[in-house]
Structure 1
Amino acid sequence: MIEPIDGSALLTGITWDSRDVEPGWLYVALPGEHVDGHQFVEPALRAGAIGALVSEAPDARACTLARELGVAIIQAPNTFHAITDLASEWRRHLKGKIVGLTGSTGKTTTKNLTRDVCAACFSVVATEANQNNELGVPKTILNAQPETQVVIVEMGMRGAGQITQLCEVARPDWGLVTNCGESHIELLGSREAIAFAKAELFSALPQGVGRAFINADDEYAAVMVERSKLERNNITCVAFNGYDDAREADALPAGPRVWAEDVRLDAQGSAEFTLCASGFADSDEDPRQPTLFTMAPDVERASCHLSLMGLHNVSNACAAAAVGRSMGMTLQTVAQALAESLPEPGRAQVCKGRDGFIVINDAYNANPDSMCASLRAFGAMDISGRRFAVLGDMGELGDFAQECHMRVGGYVAAQPIDALICVGELSRYIAEGAREAGLPNERIIVAEGIGEVLGELEETLCADDAVLVKASHFMGLDRLVEGLIS
């Protein structure tokens, strides 16, 4: 280790991308299949990194630069394990509430909503973008300070046991599962197996003080409760759902509940509803002092109007509200924070095309559930012109891929879509499913690539039209969006 000039200097952030380095941050050199982070130690130090964590001995030039700048180069046998160990130790110093969050769909949107709700009253650190894997979870923990009041840790998974591993680092106090859908069915084989994997989050909660936030409208909610032994472990169950007429929470343990009434979509496809809550402690006290669970009989209500598109985001908003209300926030404060929360780029983001048409940029990710939800929201928008749906492949579906894509195609045929444009090998089954469901062949285009789609749309689109762009991230349809708006 090369000692810095100031041995008491504190790290203020961490990154493994030298382009993101800010002064005072630690740069972590990760060996990769295509790019080795050790090649970028010097640029990271010049960008202001206070130190570099490496697994290979630094060369003479890097050592000289470190001495000149007064920074440290720390060598460890394995930089990935070093980050994990560092985060696990740092977790012991965090005094705030750690909220673990996972789900098949909507987890990043729900994380953002929960972050924005809690930030109305508390200091908050949350997972950046969708950095929810074995690297992102430690990074989120390391970004928090001991005094941070709420830390929201998004957790992704592809197989059994992965949530458990992430929980060993984050050690969440509370856990939230948005739903159990078909994402990752390629490896897990069934929705029940997916539910078991998601339930690992609830199993990791501390006995007697943990809280499990469960989507009462999810058909596997009771399965997760039983699997994680919530009642035996004395974990408070907080139910949420996006519709008053949705599946009731009777099958779940008694506890607080958040739901929506009078749900409707405005002309832009955004949801308006009455946010409702019951079973929470009185919120007259300082919201920075989380209240204890008491069963209050009265129903609280507050009007809420989301900036996010789609009925599916009502459930996500109710999940975030359940966390905020559990922290002692008033329902009115929660509703206001939800209204002010904006979508991230690539997640149902409404953009203006260069010729005046509307582009719905939902190209960040996709699975069968989110694809149908986006189509439903798109169909509900008040569009005076035509609707074009550009749909690409959905990943991680394995042997279920053909069936899932065809099912999405059948859903397209039931929506007010004027033209369906499919791009990608698997999306051909979307086109096939739409034909079989009755969508006329002349309204279906199967394109070879983004260039062909862009050319087709440029010749066809008018100022009053709208385009939905939706696919899994690996399809790169964000480039199509850029072409339409730039």
Structure 2
Amino acid sequence: MRLNAKQIAAYTGGQFLVDPIDASALMTGITWDSREVRPGWLYVALPGERVDGHAFVEAALRAGAAGALVTDAPSQSCALLARELGAAIIEVPNTASAITDLARAWRSHLRGRVIGLTGSVGKTTTKNLTRDVCAAYGSVVATKANQNNELGVPRTLLNADPETAVVVVEMGMRGRGQIAELCDFVRPVWGLITNVGESHIELLGSRENIARAKSELFEALPAGVGRAFANLDDDFATFMAERGRLSERSVALSGFAGHPDAALRGALERESAACDQAVWAEDVSLDAEGRPRFTLCARDAADHDDGALFATVERVPCALSLTGAHNVDNACAAASVGFALGLDLATIAAALGASVPEPGRQEIIAARGGFTVINDAYNASPDSMRASLATFAATDVAGRRIAVLGDMGELGNFAPACHEGVGATAASHHLDKLICIGELARHIAAGAEAAGMDAARISRADTVADVLEELDALLEPGDAVLVKASHFMGLTRIVEGLVN
């Protein structure tokens, strides 16, 4: 972001309560956390249930903020400080809406390719892989962590400069219309949907309704110049292409898949939309630590010379630093973006191999007690639970495999059945111990027992302290512990307790 105080006031419909010493001086960053403020940034005072950002305006100014957006008039001392420092204080009707207003205006300054990315599972990992692949093409800005909501999405745009080559915007959603609202100001030119799973089924009621909500991204792509990226392994890929009217609007379609047969079928069995590019994996295997090794393949419709589609196939070896076979799909998704940008497969494979996981997402930690902790506690859904358990089962472990699984959120009336299904999956992977924490996780325990797991190997816990106490008595050198649940369960405290 490079906007001056006059522009910021104009774009947000604000008025100056304190005039800046230089209204043409550019502000180069934005935050609503006074601890993040850097000299020359804009601080936004967001009201909250527990903390009101207006209480930290003075702290932000002292940290170097060149301006502040507020809805409440500042105190006399705060206004005096702003005048002494030459900073602007701008009053707006709504500070949260003002962030979106700024992003909407700033979007017109961006000359690079803006890519929207959504999906039920794997959004953040795919975003990170896409970011790392795009970095081989040019400068790139991507959503930080999983800041994919009404505040994080506009901030991603505002973090980009006009010269940024690629902006990767992760978009989360909990209901119909939310992706469309984000696309209204993001204005993505390319759009990638990782998959359609069961996340948010509580509010949407069915996978078809989830697919309708996700397909709002494809619907927003510009006719004639847009490009959609669809997972050909997903049974709703064609449905979402049809919802987006891709063929009718001349929006190009790139297909990706972690399974070659699905890629071939999806690419050639065109119904409402034709894939002009396809990226997929062959010869997938996992090493001793569960990291995928495969052949990355790609083909372009422009390569045919005998009337046959996709006559030329490129292949290169690829090895991920991430763990789990499910990440092959995520890697192919990112590779399809790089391929569409014109990168060669060897460059793409190198970027994929160098990409590392974020903390809390299949993070492997060697504890001082000689055992291993797999920290996958950042979030969870039925699909990601199954993928994480499969990865855990495929990893070489000298001792015992112990899984600590907690509640999954946003499943509504489907929650008991979804948790029981995860329990059945856990039973099929021959765990040495299954510890279930939380009220809903009791259904995981029940599902595992119903699927034939020995009840003596299943325990139920109510608190983090209970889990740590049990593990303290149980763990031995060589053992491995998987920790996974939805973020609200706070199971990172178990990870911290085990590691520290």
* TM-score bucket (shorter structure): over 0.9
How far residue 281 of structure 1 moved from its aligned partner, in angstroms, is 6.0
Render the CA deviation track for 1:450-477: whole Å, top value 9, x for unaligned. 0010111111111100000000000000
Distance 1:354 1:73 in 2: 51
Aligned to 1:442: 456
Pairs within 5 Å for 1:218-237: 218-237=234-253
Q: In structure 2, list runs of 5 or more residues that go unmatched.
A: 1-15, 304-308
Amino acid at match of 2:210: I
The Cα shift of 1:354 comes to 2.2
Unaligned runs of 5+ in 1: 283-294
Name the residue aligned to 1:214: 230
Q: What is the match of residue 278 of structure 1?
A: 299
Please tell me whether residue 113 in structure 1 is matched to residue 129 in structure 2.
yes
User: Hey, what does 1:392 align to over in structure 2?
Assistant: 406
Matched, 1:23 2:23: no
Q: Distance in 1 between matches of 2:347 and 2:370?
A: 36
Distance 1:313 1:106 in 2: 8
Partner Cα distance (2:357, 2:29) in 1: 25
Is residue 2:240 matched to residue 1:205?
no
Task: Give the Cα separation in 1 of the matches to 2:242 and 2:314.
Answer: 29
Deviation by residue 1:368-409 (Cα, 9 ceiling, x = unmatched): 000000000000001110000000000000000000000000
1:401 partnered with 2:415: yes
Cα distance per residue 1:13-63 (max 9 Å; x no partner): 111111222222111111112221111111111122121111111111111
Deviation per CA, 1:298-330: give whole Å up to 9, x if none: 101111100001000000000000001111111
Partner of 1:479, secondary structure, is helix
* Aligned-partner Cα distance in 1 for 2:24–2:477: 60
Please tell me the residue identity of whatever aligns with 1:137.
V
* Equivalent position of 1:54 in the other structure: 70
Residue 363 in 1 paired to residue 384 in 2? Answer: no
Aligned to 1:81, the other structure's residue is in SS state: helix
Q: Mean Cα displacement is larger for which, 32-41 or 262-271?
A: 32-41
Partner of residue 189, structure 1:
205
1:377 is aligned to 2:391: yes
For residue 316 of structure 1, what is the aligned residue in structure 2? Answer: 330
Among candidates 289, 308, 317, match of residue 268 of structure 1: 289
> Helix, strand or coil: the match of 1:159?
coil
When the two chains are superposed, the root-mean-square deviation of aligned CA atoms in Å is: 1.3
State how many pairs are aligned: 475
**Alpha-carbon distance, 1:251 to partner:** 3.9
Q: Deviations over 1:274-296 (max 9, x none)?
A: 000001668xxxxxxxxxxxx76
Letter in 2 for 1:273: F
SS of 1:256's equivalent in the other structure is strand
Contact 2:137 2:341 in 1 (8 A): no
Deviates more, 1:406-415 or 1:248-257: 248-257
Q: Report which stretch shifted further, 39-48 or 355-364.
A: 39-48
Determine if the alignment matches structure 1 residue 331 to structure 2 residue 352.
no
Give the TM-score taking structure 1 as reference length.
0.96
Letter matched to residue 272 of structure 1 = R
Runs of 4+ with >4 A deviation: none
Q: Deviations over 1:409-451 (max 9, x none)?
A: 0000000311000000000000000000000000001011100
**Percent identity between the aligned chains?**
63
* Cα deviation 1:42-98 (Å, max 9, x = unaligned): 111112212111111111111111112221111101111211111111101100000
Shift of residue 3, structure 1, vs aligned partner: 2.5
Which residue in 2 is equivalent to 1:255?
A: 276
Residue aligned with 1:246, SS: helix
Q: Give the AA of the match of 1:55.
A: T
Alignment of 1:115-154 (within 5 A): 115-154=131-170
Q: Distance in 2 between matches of 1:51 and 1:83?
A: 14
Q: Give matches, 1:1-12, under 5 Å.
A: 1=16, 2-12=18-28
Q: Say whether residues 1:94 and 2:115 are aligned partners.
A: no
- What whole-Å deviation, never above 9, does each CA across 1:166-224 have from its counterpart, x for those lacking one? 00010000000000000000000000000000000000000011000000000111110
In structure 2, distance between residues paired with 1:251 and 1:372: 29
Alignment match, 1:286: none
Alpha-carbon distance in structure 2 between the residues aligned to 1:276 and 1:363 = 32
**Which residue number in structure 2 is paired with residue 36 of structure 1?**
52
Q: Distance in 2 between matches of 1:120 and 1:6?
A: 38
- Matches of 1:281 and 1:324 in 2, distance apart? 16
**Residue by residue, what CA displacement relative to the aligned partner does 1:129-159 show, whole Å, maximum 9, x if unpaired?**
1111111111111111001000000000000
CA distance in 2, matches of 1:119, 1:434: 44
Decide which of 397, 405, 424 is 1:410's aligned counterpart.
Answer: 424
Aligned match of 1:290: none
Contact kept, 8 Å, 1:305 with 1:339, in 2: the verdict is yes
